[in-house]
Structure 1
Amino acid sequence: MAPKTESATYTHGHHPSVIRSHGWRTALNSAAYLLPHLKPHMKILDIGCGPGTITVDLAGYVPEGHVTGLERAGEVILGQARTLAQERGVKNIDFVSGDANALEYEDGSFDVVLCHQVLQHVGDPVGILKEMKRVAKSGGIVAARESDYGAFLWYPQSDGLDEWQSLYSKVARHNGGEPDAGRVLHVWAKQAGFSDIKCSSSNWCYSSKDEVEWWADLWVERSVSSAFAKTALDGKLAATEDLERVSNAWRLWGEHEDAWISILSAEVICRKE
C-alpha cells in the first residue's frame, strides 16, 4: 500500500507576502511555550519549517543536540532555510523534504517533535499527530501551536474585516483545513492517543504604528495576489471585487491611528508514555 500523502491544500501558498510573514517568526515569539522544556542534548524535528526562522533559532537551545526542519513545499523554501542557517553560522541543523503524513524516520527517533501553524492546513491532523508521536522517543515531547481565526480580535470595528474573516474560513475549509484549529487542538491530541497533555495559549498582538502597517500591508497584498485569492476565485467563493473590497478594508484599518489586532493561538505539550 502506498504511503499516505497530504490531501488538503495549503491555504496561504508561498507568495512573497506570505514568506515575509513567516520570516518574522522566531522561537521566542512563536514557540515560547516549548522553550522551558528543551535541554542542550535534545534531537528535534520541526515539521512544516517553512523558511526556517523558528528552526534555526531552536538550534541555539540545543547546542549539544540537533534540529531537523522538514518541509513539503519544495526546494525553494528549503533553500531559503539552509541559507539562513549558513548566514547565522548554525551547524547543528539540517533541512529535508517530506510529508508529515508518512515520516521517513524510525520509531522513537526524536526527543521533541513540533509543528507550528501546520495542523490547521492538513486533511488529517489527528493522523499527523499520531505520526509525530510515533517518531518521538518514550518520554519525549510532541508540541503544536495553532491559531484560531474565529478568535481574532481587532479595533476599530470593520465590516470589511468581518467579511475577510468569513471568507478566510470558507477558503480554508474549501481547501480541506480547519481555520479554527486552536480551540480543538487539545481534542486532536487526545484522539491521537495522548493522555499527558498540557494546554496553553498566547497571542501575537500588533499595536504600534510599524506593526500595524506591516500586518495590514501583508493582507492588502495577500487578499488579491496570494493562493488565498486564487482559491477564492477558482472556488467561486468570492469575485474580484469582493477581494478588492477586503484588501481595501485592510488598508483602511492599517491607516487608523488606534488600530490594534490580537491573533490567538492554542498550544499543547504532549508527553509520549
Structure 2
Amino acid sequence: MGDHFDHQGHYTHGHGEATLASHAARTAANSAAYLLPHLQPGMRLLDIGCGPGTITLDLAQVVAPGEVVGVDSAETALTAARDEAARRGDTTTRFDLGDVASLPFEEDSFDVVHAHQVLHHLADPVAALREMRRVCRPGGWIAVRDADYSGMAWYPPTPGLEVWRRLFSEVQRAHGAEPDAARRHRRWAREAGLAEPRITTSTWTYADPESCSWWADGQATRYGAATFTDQAREIGASEEDLEAVVQGWRSWGADPDAWFVMVHGELLAQG
C-alpha cells in the first residue's frame, strides 16, 4: 500500500526506489500460488495494495477476459503499476487510488478480493477483512498473504539484523500495527466473520549469492532511508542502532554462506 493507510495504519517502508524494486520482484507464482488454483477466466478481481502491479497483472492474465482493478493509496505506486501495464501491453487492467478502510465499490462487486502484505501494516486488520468481505460476492474468494517477522530466520547470526527486526517491530506496533500477522490470520478471520478460513504458509528463500546480495542491498537502502529512520528515531532508536541495521544487511549479504527465509501466512475464505 501507500505511504499512509488512511484511517487504518501507517506504511513503514514508504515507496522509495528500493522498496518499489523489491515489490516489483513479486509475481503471482512466488506470492499468490495458494490462490491460483481457485481462479477462472472471466472472474472480476480486486487487488488491494497493488504496489507496482506485478502480482495484479499476473492475476489479470489468469482471469482474462475478466475485469481486474488494482488499488493503492500511493500515487507513486500506481504510476509504477501503470508503467508496468504499458510495458506488458495490458490496456484493460485498471489502477486507482483506494483505501482498504473504505473501498469505493458496491457490495458484492468482485469474485476475488486479494491483498498481499497489507494486513500487517494496518491498525485494524479485522475491519479491513470485513470491508473485503463486503465487496466480495457470496461464494467468491477473499485471499490474504502476510509476513511474520518473528518467524523470519537467517544465517550467519548477524547482530545488525536482530536490531533491524526489533526496530521494525517497534515502529509497526507504535502505529498500532502487528508485524507478526501471519500467525493471527485465523483469529482475525474469525473476528471478521469469515466462514471456514483456510490457513496455509509459504516462504521466500534467499540462499544463493546473487539473490542474497540483491535482497541485502535493497534492505540496506530501504532501512537507511529517511522514511524508516525518522520513524525509528521517534521510538528512541539511536544513530548506532540505525547504522547497525544498514551495516548488518550489507555484511550479511556479502557473506558466502548467507541464507534468509521469510515466513508468510495465507488466508483463503469464501465471501
Same fold (TM over 0.5): yes
Query: Which runs of 5 or more structure 2 residues have no equivalent in the other structure?
Result: none
Deviation at 1:91, TM superposition (A): 2.9
Q: How many residues align?
A: 267
User: Contact 1:5/1:102 (CA < 8 Å) preserved in 2?
Assistant: no
1:195 corresponding residue in structure 2: 195
TM-score with structure 2 setting the length: 0.95
Deviation at 1:176, TM superposition (A): 2.2
Q: Name the SS of the counterpart of 1:61 in structure 2.
A: helix
Q: Percent identity?
A: 45
1:142 corresponding residue in structure 2: 142
Deviation at 1:223, TM superposition (A): 2.2
Structure 1 counterpart of 2:111, which letter? Answer: D
User: Contact 2:28/2:55 (CA < 8 Å) preserved in 1?
Assistant: yes
Deviation at 1:128, TM superposition (A): 0.6
1:240 corresponding residue in structure 2: 239
Q: Using the alignment, how far apart are the partners of 2:225 and 2:239 within structure 1?
A: 11
2:221 is equivalent to residue 205 of structure 1 = no
Map residues 242-261 of structure 1 onto 2, 5 A cutoff.
242-261=241-260
User: Contact 1:11/1:175 (CA < 8 Å) preserved in 2?
Assistant: no
Q: Residues 139-196 of structure 1, C-alpha deviation per residue, up to 9 Å, x if partnerless?
A: 0000000000000000111222112111111011112211000110121111110122
User: Contact 1:14/1:226 (CA < 8 Å) preserved in 2?
Assistant: no
Q: Residues 110-136 of structure 1, C-alpha deviation per residue, up to 9 Å, x if partnerless?
A: 000010000100111000100000000
User: Contact 2:72/2:78 (CA < 8 Å) preserved in 1?
Assistant: yes
1:13 corresponding residue in structure 2: 14
Deviation at 1:138, TM superposition (A): 0.7
Q: Using the alignment, how far apart are the partners of 1:247 and 1:135 within structure 2?
A: 41
TM-score with structure 1 setting the length: 0.95
Q: Residues 12-57 of structure 1, C-alpha deviation per residue, up to 9 Å, x if partnerless?
A: 1112111111111011110010000000010000000011111011
1:163 corresponding residue in structure 2: 163
Q: Residues 222-245 of structure 1, C-alpha deviation per residue, up to 9 Å, x if partnerless?
A: 222142212002x14212221111
User: Contact 1:158/1:249 (CA < 8 Å) preserved in 2?
Assistant: yes
User: Contact 2:206/2:261 (CA < 8 Å) preserved in 1?
Assistant: yes
Change (3 A) 1:16 1:5: closer
Q: Using the alignment, how far apart are the partners of 2:78 and 2:227 within structure 1?
A: 19
Deviation at 1:6, TM superposition (A): 2.0
Q: Name the SS of the counterpart of 1:171 in structure 2.
A: helix
Q: Using the alignment, how far apart are the partners of 2:266 and 2:210 within structure 1?
A: 27
1:46 corresponding residue in structure 2: 47
Q: Using the alignment, how far apart are the partners of 1:95 and 1:236 within structure 2?
A: 34
Q: Using the alignment, how far apart are the partners of 2:11 and 2:236 within structure 1?
A: 16
User: Contact 1:160/1:245 (CA < 8 Å) preserved in 2?
Assistant: yes
Structure 1 counterpart of 2:227, which letter? Answer: A
CA root-mean-square deviation: 1.3
Structure 1 stretches of 4+ with a deviation exceeding 4 A read none
Q: Using the alignment, how far apart are the partners of 1:29 and 1:156 within structure 2?
A: 25
Structure 2 counterpart of 1:70, which letter? Answer: V
Q: Using the alignment, how far apart are the partners of 1:56 and 1:237 within structure 2?
A: 40
2:217 corresponding residue in structure 1: 217
Q: Using the alignment, how far apart are the partners of 1:7 and 1:269 within structure 2?
A: 21
Structure 2 counterpart of 1:250, which letter? Answer: W
Query: Which runs of 5 or more structure 1 residues have no equivalent in the other structure?
Result: none
Q: Using the alignment, how far apart are the partners of 2:193 and 2:180 within structure 1?
A: 21
